[in-house]
Amino acid sequence: MRIRNLLFMLLGMVSGVNAATEKPGIAGHYTLQAREIVSRLSLAPDNTFEARIEYAGAEGSAKGRWKLVDNTLTLNSDAVVPPAENLLFNLSRTHSLADLQDARQPDGGDTFKQAQSNYVLNLSYARSAPVPSIPPVMVSFEFNQGPAAQLLWSNAVGRQLYLPYTDQRTLTRVGLQSSPDQPPQWFTIAPQTRTLSLSWKVDRTTGQISYDKPDELGLTQSQQFFRNAPKALAQIDHNYILTLLYGVTAEPPAIKPVDIFWSFDDGSQTSQRWTDSRQPQLLMPVPAGKTLKKLGMKLSGDQSPQWVEVATGSRAIDLMWDERVNPAQMRDLSDVFKTLELHVKGDCLAVDLGNGQACYRQ
| Statement to judge: residues 198 and 220 lie in one domain | yes
User: For all residues of the chain together, what is the average pLDDT?
Assistant: 84
Say which residue, 269 or 157, is predicted with more confidence: 269
pTM recorded for the entire structure: 0.60
Residue range(s) defining the domain that contains residue 54:
3-81+326-361
Give residue 148's pLDDT. 94
| Statement to judge: residues 264 and 305 lie in one domain | yes
The domain boundary, picked from 246, 265, 288, lies at 246
Q: 4-18, 100-114, 172-186: lowest mean pLDDT where? A: 4-18
| Statement to judge: residues 60 and 91 lie in one domain | no
Yes or no: say if 80 and 338 are a contact pair by the CB < 8 Å rule.
no
The answer to whether residue 142 scores a pLDDT higher than 60 is: yes
Residues above pLDDT 90, as percent of the chain:
43
The answer to whether residue 353 scores a pLDDT higher than 70 is: no
What does the pLDDT look like over 54-70, one tens digit per residue? 877 778 888 999 999 88
| Statement to judge: residues 183 and 92 lie in one domain | no
CATH number at residue 98: 2.60.40
DSSP 243-280: EEEE--BPPPPPB--EEEEEEETTS-EEEEEE--TT--
Nearby residues of 69 by Cβ (< 8 Å), 6 or more positions away = 18, 19, 20, 21
How many domains in the chain?
3
The answer to whether residue 15 scores a pLDDT higher than 60 is: no
| Statement to judge: residues 261 and 222 lie in one domain | no
| Statement to judge: residues 241 and 148 lie in one domain | yes
The answer to whether residue 357 scores a pLDDT higher than 80 is: no
Query: What number of other Cβ atoms are within 10 A of residue 214's Cβ?
Result: 19
The answer to whether residue 326 scores a pLDDT higher than 70 is: no
| Statement to judge: residues 219 and 154 lie in one domain | yes
The answer to whether residue 325 scores a pLDDT higher than 80 is: no
| Statement to judge: residues 234 and 294 lie in one domain | no
Which strands make up the sheet holding 87-96, listed edge to edge? 87-96, 314-323, 118-125, 281-285
| Statement to judge: residues 143 and 186 lie in one domain | yes
Give residue 119's pLDDT. 97
| Statement to judge: residues 295 and 306 lie in one domain | yes
Taking alpha carbons only, the member of 54, 55, 51, 71 closest to residue 63 is 51
Report the distance separating Cα 337 and Cα 328, nearest Å. Answer: 18
Average pLDDT value for residue range 341-349: 87
Name the region of 161 (left: φ>0; alpha: ψ -120 to 50; beta: rest): beta
| Statement to judge: residues 144 and 210 lie in one domain | yes
Average pLDDT value for residue range 306-326: 89
Give residue 4's pLDDT. 46
Confidence of residue 285 (pLDDT cuts 50, 70, 90): very high
Confidence of residue 354 (pLDDT cuts 50, 70, 90): very low
| Residue 146 CA to its chain's centroid (Å) | 36
The answer to whether residue 8 scores a pLDDT higher than 50 is: no
Yes or no: say if 47 and 66 are a contact pair by the CB < 8 Å rule.
yes
| Statement to judge: residues 165 and 237 lie in one domain | yes
3-state secondary structure of 14: coil
Yes or no: say if 351 and 342 are a contact pair by the CB < 8 Å rule.
yes
Say which residue, 352 or 229, is predicted with more confidence: 229
